[in-house]
Amino acid sequence: MDKIIIEGGTPLTGEVTLSGSKNAALPILSACVLTGGWHTLHNIPALRDIWTIKKILSNLGVVFEEDGQTLRVNSDNLKSHVAPYQLVRTMRASILVLGPLLSRLGKAKISLPGGCAIGARPIDFHLKGLSAMGVDISLEHGYVVARADKLRGAAIFFDIPSVTGTENLMMAAVKAEGKTTLNNAAKEPEVVDLANMLNHMGAQIEGAGTDTITITGVKELRPVTYSIIPDRIEAGTFLVAAAITKGNVRIKGCRVDDLEAIVEKLVDSGVKIEKQAQDLIAQGNDSIKSVDIKTMPFPGFPTDMQAQFMALMSIADGWSMIRETIFENRFMHVSELRRMGADIEINAGQALVRGKSNLSGAQVMATDLRASACLVLAGLAAKGRTEISRVYHLDRGYHDLDGKLSLLGPKIWREQY
Ligand code: UD1
């Protein structure tokens, strides 16, 4: 296994280019199951979750041709409708093949994702929506077994907006008979990216990016050439990296509108952020002001940036209240940050962070994807040496974060242990 080692205290300077969005690429790759022919997808990030979805799709009979960040995908010869436990257990988003398989083959058997480190994360909304569309669903030996002779449009209401739930139902609905309405749908940019890709395929989807998405079923879809949006969580992570090290970093190729909530909080904390065309330039301030955050569905502050922001707040002036409203157990980075000297108290879904003037390097362990990014950021700012083990969590969702950071000046490298 790899660990990341950081000698902290160097302000980051220079420029960095973002990779494609993991959370957009996962549903878009799954959507290639909807119709045969060669799809060409640009800006696919090279990271572990993409490898996992490719593995799941290969298992179904999908074939790939890879050329750097471009992936050609063909699902002409599907030979299976099963996503097995060994693959699904490593990535909950594997459930994204359920909708496309039902649309294409009328059947799917997907392992239940099981427990997850950051909370219960059920899939009941996915299943309830599909059953309203005429899918017969049973749970057998740890698998969701779903069958439908014909998918029909339905009016579906989400109790809470669910990102992959919205995506799964959108994909199930594109060729269903009649109209499907998704109410209280997720508005995340990744949902919009998928809808745009599906519309290029010939789907009729309206309202993506709003609370209500309407999908009118079509008879035929065609393969597409499509480019994935840049990763807004990677962008946010580099913005915090500039802030926490009091550096100056140009982040190239951002979609600034997707980053409003993050940028606003960073500006409140004293970071100077300038927009130049598609780039954001972040200049950290010597003194970091404490600000409160509350995670919310888009356009609110993303839960996927909560851990990274907490690292910043742990060296801010004053107290910060961080409320997590999306995933109940997403504070596992707290005990590791405390090992680096952070003063954080957790009470009923909120963390009270009392900013300290310094963090100190320590041996820490990554517990989930965004928690690993939080520890890398803390290590960049800390005095002395930080060693982060179990960084396979980081590799699930970032394309070479440590490599990209090392080009901005700090001493950061990997070793095997
Ligand atoms: C997606 C993102 C993840 C992000 C999260 C919230 C992908 C691949 N992953 O995860 O990075 O942190 O959105 O922005 O895009 N819920 C239910 N029942 C369901 C589905 C969800 O109760 O059937 C609840 C969840 O427990 C959570 C909330 O709804 O409290 C939102 O979760 P959801 O948006 O579904 O998260 P994911 O799609 O799994």
Supply φ then ψ for residue 281, to 5 degrees: -115, 120
Give the pLDDT mean for 215-224.
98
Nearest-atom number in ligand 1 for the CA of 49 is: 8
CA of 410 to the centre of ligand 1 (A): 34
pTM: 0.97
**Sequence spans of domains, the chain:** 2-19+230-416, 22-227
In the block, tokens 């973002």 appear at: 18
| pLDDT tops 90 at residue 328 | no
CA of 165 to the centre of ligand 1 (A): 7
If one residue of 126, 128, 160, 325 were mutated to test the ligand 1 pocket, choosing by the most ligand atoms within 8 A of its CB, it would be 160
- For ligand 1, atom 13, the nearest C-alpha belongs to 163
The pair of structure tokens assigned to 99 is: 């909708």
pLDDT in tens, 25-52: 999 999 999 999 999 999 999 999 999 9
- Scored b (16 or more CB within 10 A) or e, 389-417 reads bbbebbbbbbbebbebbeebbbebeeeee
pLDDT band at 348 (very low <50, low <70, confident <90, very high): confident
Nearest Cα residue to 282 out of 290, 291, 272: 272
Provide the strand spans (E) within 230-338.
Answer: 248-252, 272-276, 279-283, 293-294, 319-323
pLDDT in the model for residue 117: 52
Question: What are the pocket residues of ligand 1 if the criterion is a CB atom closer than 6 Å to any ligand atom?
Answer: 23, 26, 92-93, 119-126, 160, 162-165, 186, 190, 303-304, 326-327
- For ligand 1, atom 29, the nearest C-alpha belongs to 162
**What percent of the chain shows pLDDT beyond 70?**
98
Does the domain formed by 22-227 have CATH 3.65.10.10? Answer: yes
Beta carbons within 10 angstroms of residue 87's beta carbon: 16
Report the largest interatomic distance among the alpha carbons of the chain, rounded to a whole angstrom. 63
- In the chain, the N- to C-terminal Cα span, in Å, equals 6
Strand-pairing partners, residue 196, are: none
Nearest-atom number in ligand 1 for the CA of 190 is: 15
Helix (H) or strand (E) holding 216: strand 213-216
- For ligand 1, atom 34, the nearest C-alpha belongs to 162
CA of 173 to the centre of ligand 1 (A): 20
Hey, do 2-19+230-416 and 22-227 end up sharing a CATH topology, with the first three levels equal? yes
Helix (H, G, I), strand (E, B) or coil at 351: strand
pLDDT in the model for residue 112: 87
Q: How many Cα atoms occupy the beta-carbon half-sphere of 271 within 13 Å? A: 34
pLDDT in tens, 248-263: 999 999 999 999 999 9
pLDDT in tens, 371-410: 999 999 999 999 999 999 999 999 999 999 999 999 999 9
pLDDT in the model for residue 122: 86
Nearest Cα residue to 26 out of 210, 143, 171: 171
CA of 164 to the centre of ligand 1 (A): 6
If one residue of 92, 326, 331, 368 were mutated to test the ligand 1 pocket, choosing by the most ligand atoms within 8 A of its CB, it would be 326
> 2-19+230-416: what fold?
UDP-n-acetylglucosamine1-carboxyvinyl-transferase; Chain (3.65.10)
Positions marked active-site: 116
pLDDT in the model for residue 114: 60
